[in-house]
A and B are shown apart, each in its own frame.
Chain A
């Protein structure tokens, strides 16, 4: 038997500056939130602190030559956690730090590098950060060949380009349809991922540890499921400021299977429950309950979402990342655990669920949310990178017509506010609200 020598990258202090800047940016946000005693700010502060800690951990690993990987929320983070492998998403900036002040500058730099402007800005930025040496080079990369062509292209580029060509890359093969055969197949793919990670990082997967992590995630998803029911209340207890995106960050990125994440979810639930009992929401009078069917416009979120609340009494009741089916993982044995992970990561994970397979998910999710959450308006932002979803806009419109709920497709870039400016979005939404007699 031969023991393969593990690859280790030499730490270069001049690299991944942007990653450090992001950490500092989150630290700065945490400092601001510390001065705000209200419960929502404190919930946000805890998530921000958790984020900073992960950034610190990755930086430390890089400096000390310890293994860490780049992975994805939908590629079984439960497994990285159980293996004790620190990880980060190479799309972290667009997902998490998109409101950072340098974002526009980076988008232009990506364009100057020759990356196509019709390519999803999140993917474009991620490749730019890698090519420009601004993000930490991992020991191994878990790539994605789903749910969209844009993500697939990113990982093809990373695999072939010079910068990270020596980083081993693995992508699990996602089945198209949702059935037991698909779950069985994808469970096998996750096992291959474990073998890959063990080979390239030296970390080992211990079944008991995986069971422990999954048990804790079951608790987390159960609380999250309870929380999402609370958002059905009139008025909705929380608006755009806290809820799905932060819960996603806790359960699927920074606190997967960790008691601290569970505690945060309990606090989120308790805060919402109290508001439901007191009948308080984010605005004095809730006039429009809307379903934002995508990521929030993180690049300019502060320029649109508060305006919707203040100007129109329009409350974000549900969005794509808060909409998660609940699949508890059956902990009986290794097989049931891997099958549970397969289902959760392939068929439940937000955005992956809708964009990976048949377009019918767009219709069925809308139908369910509109009825359950008493939605007055469905907003499909039409992010320029989400061509898969925009190709289904006709289906979404049809289903909304059947449900007799107004539907608007804006057409914007969630990260680059110059594509359709916040003012243009406001104008379009205002005209639409007026025409539909909303608010």
Chain B
């Protein structure tokens, strides 16, 4: 059992809870292979397919503005049988149903692959920020949030959550070959509905942080705590700092000598 498997259950309970509350829950099943995922999409997917910036005036719908709420996270399992590969679950209105809207946005990406491990998590995190890879879709460059825009042009072509989901699946499966299966949850129903999702996300992110600490440590870096507690006197590199100080002094002297006396 992988470290995040318990969250599959929590997520299923969360979706079940919203279903019970009467929220409209749509499930879309997509094919598995990258080529099939991209087949028939209304927009292009791949590096450079989105043109730089989607201006506010060109925006059909905005999702995840901090004023209305955003909650996004990802996790993975090494048991592909635990997830429904290609499944997109949408709770709330779809993109074509929301012209001019600023929608609250929940996005949970679940990846599965027998070869997936802790060392892949950081790459998965980076991959979710798709930059210019989906035509007509821009994730704004602001940390901690998925705050995005769909252009009017893309919406006219038929861009919807199925488009976004299939594009994301294709990108993940192409960029991280260890990803064999992928499932996505989108929530746009209300800010209140994002609350419990945020709680699950906070726990998942806590685990990710500890993975990150271990990952950096394994690479020889202590990214979280100074091993010497900030006490330079106990740091073995202190002589280097002392030497640098001397070098600076000598350099300054050399420069002032080479420049000669000032005219002023």
Contacts and interface: CB of A to CB of B under 8 A. Distances in A.
A358 interface: yes
A326 B126 contact: no
Contacts of A395: 216, 221, 223
A363 B221 CA distance: 12
Contacts of B142: 225, 325-326
B234 interface: no
Contacts, number: 88
B131 interface: yes
Nearest to A365: B143
Interface in A208-266: 225-226, 228-230, 232-234
Interface string B213-232: 00010011111100000100
Contacts of A326: 66, 142
A369 B216 contact: no
B121 interface: no
A225 B140 CA distance: 9
Contacts of B129: 367-368, 371-372
A369 B141 contact: yes
A194 B220 CA distance: 43
B251 interface: yes
B251 A419 contact: yes
B56 interface: yes
A374 B141 contact: no
B244 A118 contact: yes
B186 to A, nearest CB: 21
A229 B219 contact: no
B67 A328 contact: yes
Interface in A382-400: 384, 392, 394-395, 398
B241 interface: yes
A228 B147 CA distance: 14
A276 interface: yes
Interface in B122-148: 123, 126, 129, 131-132, 138-145
Contacts of A392: 221, 223
A421 B251 CA distance: 11
A351 B66 CA distance: 23
B30 interface: no
B245 A234 contact: no
Contacts of A226: 56
Contacts of B145: 325
B83 interface: no
A236 to B, nearest CB: 10
Interface of B: 52-53, 55-56, 66-67, 123, 126, 129, 131-132, 138-145, 212, 216, 219-224, 230, 241, 244-245, 248-249, 251-252, 255-256
Given A225-B142, A392-B221, A418-B256, 20 more contacts: A117-B245, A232-B141, A276-B53, A276-B55, A326-B142, A327-B66, A328-B67, A359-B221, A360-B216, A360-B223, A363-B223, A364-B143, A368-B143, A372-B139, A373-B141, A394-B220, A398-B221, A419-B248, A419-B251, A421-B255
Leading 8 A-B pairs by shortest Cβ distance:
A372-B141, A359-B223, A233-B52, A371-B131, A118-B245, A358-B224, A325-B143, A360-B223
